[in-house]
Structure 1
Amino acid sequence: MSLTDTLKNALTGVLNRYTLTVADSGVVADVEDFKGHEGLSELYHYTIRFTSSDPDIQPRQVLRKGATFTMRTLPDTLAGALQPSATMKTVHGTVTAFRRLSGSRDQVTYEIVLQPFLALLQRQYRSHRFFVNKSVPDVVAQILTEHGLKGWESEFSLQKVYPKREQINQYQESDLAFIQRLLAEVGIFYFFTLQPDTQTEVIHFGDNQSALLFDKKLMINSPSGMSDSGADSVWGLGVEHNVVEANVTTKDYNHREAQYLLHSAPADMTYGEGDDINYGEVYHYFPRHTQLGDKWDPGSETANFYARLDHERFLANQTTVTGKSTDSTLFPAQVLTITDTFPPTLPASFREQILLTKLNFTGSREVSLQVRFTGVPYYERLCWRPPLLPRPKVTGTMMARVTSAKEAEIYAWQDDAGHYRVKFDADTDEKSQGQESMPVRLAKPYGGDAYGFHFPLIQGTEVAIAFHEGDPDRPYIAHALHDSRHVDHVTEKNSTRNVIRTAGLNKLRMEDKRGEEHIKLSTEYGGKTQLNLGHNVDAARKLRGEGAELRTDDWISIRGGKGVFISADLQPDAKEQMIEMGDAIRQLEQALTLARSMAKAAISAKTTEGDVLSQQRLSASLSDLTAPGMLLHAPEGIGMVSARALRIASGSESVGIMSGDNTDISTGQSFTVAAGGSVSLLANGQGMQMVAAKGLMTVQAQSDALSVSAQKDINIQSAEGKVTVSASQELVLTCGGAWIKLSGGNIELGCPGNILLKGTNVQKLGAASLDIAPVEMPSGFGGGFILTDEAGKPQPSTPYRITTAEGEVLQGVTDNNGKTALINTSFPSSLNIEFGNVKASTPVGKNSGGAE
């Protein structure tokens, strides 16, 4: 053997085409063999076995340390051995596993696993994390930054704009699994390259063919013992074809725009070219999109976007290409062109470009590098998508607290749809007050179009958050809970009470304790406005009454548009109709019968009869409330008392007061009766007494005659004074044909019989006269008015307002005949009259009345 051969063999024994360097470890490694796997949207994984003279390498020396694995060429000649070898491929990553395999006196065999730094993210596990108002790329970038990746260590080459989602939740996932799931859901793939300056890995994200790497070419050449002249090639090519799904349709529901149907068109990304070999319609109802999107160019995360994305995933499995190579520079995301011989021997599947999706590298000191690759045909209009990863399902509920933008507010923030924001107890990230979650719907037992069941939640209230179909990104408030800070208002102390109470202390309380059942509906406004029913108690639960009570320190209004019936009649167990009023109707009929009878008596006595007709109309209206009226009835009496004034009035018809026995009117001061028409008093069965126990009694007919008649004696006496009878024209006394007439200053006596003059003396003197001042009768001025239209038709039920010259304002409503009330003034004057918007002025004099 020559010296040259001896030197070459010696050099070959010490030279190694593979090197491994672990930063800051002091480890000198001699690579024995390795296995490597790289994939599109996968972490690369290299298992490297090496020997070292160090018998005890500590885990701290290598674990989590940066490491570089290099594949180089070996020299073919002795002279070449003296030259630096060429580096073909460099893999940089982090040591994630370390093993000691065996050892001897001279060397020890070790093994490490080399992965990208991103692999460490699988060690960061979070049971819960909540991202609000961020897009998928935003979330991925945030997590990478939190783990210390610099901006240049990741690159987003995205063609689409991804919307900010209301909320994205990480649930029972590592950071790595979380971002891998998010990226796969929207069809973003990733791969790694080496940064040439720092010689460290860079992660690339893409959603379109433009993010892939092109211009990689290899010739086909099977190494069957023939020399390949040192040129890399491919061989052992295989292809597999599968029937895949023909089209995809997806649908979702967006409660914010419930009127829109989010049902995509069927997506066929072969555009009909796969009809002969593909089969099956796929329908997804996935809660993940809020808009429909255009059929041909949909925006990201819309219904049509997801349908197209899903079909691209299926088509990625239709054709699979496999092969072998010696080229160490192959890596995922490369588009490979295989150059054929002439004449061509490759099938059609290999004549087109191939997108590399998986690669396996093997090599050792003794065996040269071999690369096995898997790929899919590359298409300009069809993009490879990573497989969809399962989304975790939330079981049960999560605890949260209702929040608001202002900490001091009692009531929680709500949007225009009534949604709330909450802060999850599991959330440890700092977020702005009131922005801790997406707007969350509140589940209710009943709801509809602007109606339903909704008690506004109070800030700080504990709520249980459930999730639609267990989807962590679709939370809703299932129910509210009490806790030690927000105690329950029903406890062992009042366990028989069913209570609804709001933060403003509005309350509905239903007591079920036997023998003390009651209902209380109350508000603090108006000094405790309350409706109490049943066994009513005070704050100390002492009985304060039984039955029903409506009370307030403010005003109470009882209004019934069709009528009001207030009764003290017993109705056991509420078995009768609500407005059953048989007893009250009988009382009405009895009173009306009495009124009719007394009206006939008045006619017989030639006095003014009562207005029976209006009372008949009243009875007809009140009977079963056939017209809007109010009826009060009590079998044992009704009392109306007031410390101040009390009024009974009728606007246009009569006021009837009837009693089957006495009608007693007592007053501590004056008793005044004033009528615009006549006053008629009739005592039909017994006598009438008019007595002034003290003071003057005056009886006047101020503008007409006064007639006093009696069937029997008339007795006029003055117990302690005189009786004066005066007439301005003539005074006549007559009885049995005899008379005395005083007229014109003369006295005329006459009789059919004798005139007897009895007395001690009869004295005749000269002429004399006695003058008594005549009584001055007061006079008033007044009139009434009838409102008519242009055709002269009376206008009933029309509001009016009359202002007198004295400044008095009189208001009312015209009666059924269009008449106003009678207007009286102390002197003739003009009146301002307003009917609705019409104003008029008219004089009122002594004889005015019946004006129109």
Structure 2
Amino acid sequence: MAVQSDYRYSLTVNEHIQFDVVRFVLKEQLSSLFHLELDVASSGAEPDFFTIIDHNATLTFWQGEQAIRHVNGIVTSFNQGETGFSRTRYRMVIEPSLCRANLQSDLRIFQQQDSQKIIETLLQKNHTPQNQFHLQTPYWTREYCVQYRETDLNFIERLAAEEGTYYYFEHTKENHILHFANSTALSLKKGDLIYNAMPAGERPEAAIWHWAYEEKLSSTLQTLRDYTFTNPRYNQEHQAIVQKTNVLGENHQGQYERYDYPGRYKRDAQGKPFTQYRLDYERRESELAFAHSDDLRVQPGYVFGLTGHSRDAFNRDWLIVSVEHYGWQPGVLEEEAGEDGNRYENRIKLIPSTTQWRPTPQPRPVVEGSHTAHVVGPADEEIYCDEWGRVKVQFPWDREGQNNEHSSCWIRVSQGWAGAQFGHIAIPRIGHEVIVDFLEGDPDQPVIIGRTYHSTTEPPYALPEHKTRMTIKSKTHKGNGFNELRFEDENGQEEVFIHAERDQNNVVKNDETTQIGHDRSEQVGHDETIHIGNNRTETVGQDESLTVGRDQTNKINRNRMTKIEKDEVLNIGNNFVLDVYANQDVRSGRDHSHQANRNALVKVGTELKHHSKNIKMTGSTLVKVRGQAGTIVIDGKGITLKGKVTVKGALIQQGGTPESPQVLSFTANDVKPTCEVCEAMKNQKQHAG
């Protein structure tokens, strides 16, 4: 291998500390941290460890005087070994700066951000500012995304895998750049690799001397489903199926389906790419090539063409998936150097450049059990919810939340009953402590399943003093009132208590039956209106008392019948007016008495009749009967008749006194009255004439 004699390696740490490279092993792979282990030596002063650990380091591959490739990272492990005649041996590990993300873990909430924004935030936190995203399909905004007890690296890799995105590194002398890509079609081509299977020592240039190709039986169909409460009847099912031939131009045989739920997408438009990503992952190594070479240029994430293979189908572009590099430089140990010169070789794994490579889906963290949290919202609110009754909470583990309406996503609240516009609803209020569970243990899918009291939201009644009370008691929004339905179960004190802070409305669409075993008291502070659409029957077993503070008005559109088995007493403090439109009939089984302390007036429009065996009319001072043509006055002086007098029937005369004049005498059937005095006076007038 004539080309190997030109290879050499150098290492610089912290910009100025030089080490001689004895040997190294470098492992690189898509979506993995590269890992470089080196045996090095130095004849200089023993370095301080703090100047080595966590500092920049660069391994350079040389061919002659030309730097072919750099591997840049930070020193994560440094070991001082034996000291020989003139040199001290060291062992060192170099990894990308992204490895720092494996040293930090967090519980953190991200809202309304896409995966790129979230990943960039974590990279900045871990001092990995050199990064680039190459996206053929843009990321969707994540409404709510939780890093839950994961290292920053695990979280980054999980998000990237869900988005079908792999990462790799680009190296320069001074730094390394982290690249993210969600399509192999965006990969850069670095050149061609020569296939040369000639024996060692006969290759004038770097080449692949071993090549193997294999195919694996893999799934050909991926089906995913998911659920969203905003469209519960739609199953959000998506399928992806193999639609390509292999590098040999052959079609795939068989249909092997992988089905999973949930697909971890809430928008239907996300379902299609997520399903394709899962199928791509299952088939990423369905066509795989293995190669051994001594070409220093190969590294994951880049495309190289293969030339010189006897099977022309293999002479095409391939994407490097992983590489293991091995290098030896024994000559730097002068006192220990043998006859072997510098050597280098690698082991390469490749896939066709047209195959999509997706990273292994990372297991999401599982919340083992429920959490408590406090309901939060704007500073001037007491109740804060959306159209579905969802609320926001502050978890006790969230260090970045500000106990306001931005502390979490909207979280659904389990209710006792939830139907189509019917059921039970009780919105947790700001400050209340709730119990939060997570669907399938997924921290991104919280749901409130309960509530509990704590020291600042105590029960409505002191306990255990009122341990027999069960209550549903609310509180006036932005006020001090309350509504309550309370049950007291203490033996001998059983009670159902209902309190309405303002209005109470009862609607009974059919019958209502109320049975009260003892007393009932009802007090209405203002007006009461009762409307009965049909009949009303009211029965009082004993006495009834009705007190009206002012007026009472009764209106009966038809008949009224009142039956009183015994006495009725009507006491009216002022006037009494009885207005009967037609007839009035008053019947008394025995006596009937009317008494007026002053005047009494009976006014009849046509005729007044009194029927009785006896009629007595008594005026203690005066009796006066007045008609159209005359008047009868009975007073203390006697009886005075004024007007024309006609008497029909017999006249009976009885003796009289000066105080009692003669009684008129009538002749039967004589229509004229006869009076001796009158006749005598009449005759006297005639004779005088």
Match among 170, 182, 204 for residue 207 of structure 1: 182
Question: CA shift at 1:270, angstroms?
Answer: 3.2
Are residues 316 and 175 of structure 1, via their aligned partners in 2, closer, same or farther at CA, if it must alter by over 3 Å? same
State the distance in 1 between where 2:649 and 2:452 align: 112
State the distance in 1 between where 2:358 and 2:80 align: 39
State the distance in 2 between where 1:304 and 1:317 align: 22
State the distance in 1 between where 2:526 and 2:656 align: 81
RMSD: 3.1
SS in 2 for 1:312: helix
Q: Are residue 392 (structure 1) and residue 365 (structure 2) matched?
A: yes
Match of 1:409 in 2: 381
8 Å contact from structure 2 (residues 131, 179) kept in 1: yes
SS in 2 for 1:649: coil
Q: Are residue 655 (structure 1) and residue 560 (structure 2) matched?
A: yes
Are residues 275 and 189 of structure 1, via their aligned partners in 2, closer, same or farther at CA, if it must alter by over 3 Å? same
Match of 1:727 in 2: 627
Match among 604, 608, 613 for residue 706 of structure 1: 608
Match of 1:639 in 2: 545
1:294-305 correspondence to structure 2 within 5 Å? 302-305=270-273
State the distance in 1 between where 2:250 and 2:542 align: 95
CA shift digits 1:183-205 (9 cap, x unpaired): 0111011111124xx63101111
Question: CA shift at 1:748, angstroms?
Answer: 3.7
8 Å contact from structure 2 (residues 40, 91) kept in 1: yes
State the distance in 2 between where 1:759 and 1:172 align: 135
Q: Are residue 354 (structure 1) and residue 318 (structure 2) matched?
A: yes
* Counterpart AA for 2:563: M
8 Å contact from structure 2 (residues 370, 436) kept in 1: yes
* Counterpart AA for 1:144: L
CA shift digits 1:794-844 (9 cap, x unpaired): xxxxxxxxxxxxxxxxxxxxxxxxxxxxxxxxxxxxxxxxxxxxxxxxxxx
* Counterpart AA for 1:674: D
CA shift digits 1:663-718 (9 cap, x unpaired): 222223333322122222111x21211222x21222221x211112212x222222
Match among 96, 104, 112 for residue 92 of structure 2: 112
Are residues 653 and 274 of structure 1, via their aligned partners in 2, closer, same or farther at CA, if it must alter by over 3 Å? farther
TM-score, normalized by length of structure 2? Answer: 0.85
Are residues 469 and 559 of structure 1, via their aligned partners in 2, closer, same or farther at CA, if it must alter by over 3 Å? farther
Q: Are residue 251 (structure 1) and residue 251 (structure 2) matched?
A: no
Match of 1:100 in 2: 80
* Counterpart AA for 2:97: F
State the distance in 1 between where 2:351 and 2:7 align: 34
Are residues 454 and 547 of structure 1, via their aligned partners in 2, closer, same or farther at CA, if it must alter by over 3 Å? farther
Q: Is 241-250 or 551-560 further displaced after alignment?
A: 551-560
Match of 1:52 in 2: 42
Match of 1:671 in 2: 576
Q: Is 173-182 or 99-108 further displaced after alignment?
A: 99-108
Q: Is 369-378 or 628-637 further displaced after alignment?
A: 628-637
Are residues 385 and 547 of structure 1, via their aligned partners in 2, closer, same or farther at CA, if it must alter by over 3 Å? farther
Question: CA shift at 1:752, angstroms?
Answer: 4.1
Question: CA shift at 1:643, angstroms?
Answer: 2.3
SS in 2 for 1:238: strand
State the distance in 2 between where 1:752 and 1:551 align: 74
Match of 2:671 in 1: none
Q: RCO greater where, 1 or 2, for CA within 8 Å and sep 6 or more?
A: 2
* Counterpart AA for 1:202: I
8 Å contact from structure 1 (residues 268, 308) kept in 2: no
Match of 1:38 in 2: 28
State the distance in 1 between where 2:18 and 2:265 align: 54
1:263-274 correspondence to structure 2 within 5 Å? 263-270=237-244
Match of 2:674 in 1: none
Question: CA shift at 1:401, angstroms?
Answer: 1.8
Structure 1 unaligned residues grouped into runs of 5+: 1-11, 75-84, 294-301, 537-544, 562-627, 733-739, 768-852
Match of 1:369 in 2: 344
CA shift digits 1:74-116 (9 cap, x unpaired): 4xxxxxxxxxx21111111000111223333532211111111
* Counterpart AA for 2:86: D
SS in 2 for 1:633: coil
Q: Are residue 472 (structure 1) and residue 472 (structure 2) matched?
A: no
Match of 1:175 in 2: 152
* Counterpart AA for 2:610: V
State the distance in 1 between where 2:376 and 2:102 align: 33
Are residues 655 and 23 of structure 1, via their aligned partners in 2, closer, same or farther at CA, if it must alter by over 3 Å? same
Match of 1:570 in 2: none
State the distance in 2 between where 1:553 and 1:700 align: 44
Match among 310, 331, 337 for residue 345 of structure 1: 310
Match of 2:472 in 1: 500
Structure 2 unaligned residues grouped into runs of 5+: 330-340, 477-481, 507-513, 633-638, 663-676, 683-689
Question: CA shift at 1:480, angstroms?
Answer: 1.9
SS in 2 for 1:396: coil
CA shift digits 1:141-193 (9 cap, x unpaired): 1111233343xx11111121212111010011111110011001110111111
TM-score, normalized by length of structure 1? Answer: 0.69
State the distance in 2 between where 1:649 and 1:548 align: 27
Are residues 729 and 557 of structure 1, via their aligned partners in 2, closer, same or farther at CA, if it must alter by over 3 Å? closer
Percent identical residues: 22
SS in 1 for 2:230: helix
Are residues 681 and 549 of structure 1, via their aligned partners in 2, closer, same or farther at CA, if it must alter by over 3 Å? closer
Q: Is 747-756 or 271-280 further displaced after alignment?
A: 271-280
State the distance in 1 between where 2:250 and 2:538 align: 87
Question: CA shift at 1:324, angstroms?
Answer: 0.8
8 Å contact from structure 2 (residues 55, 75) kept in 1: yes
Number of equivalences: 628
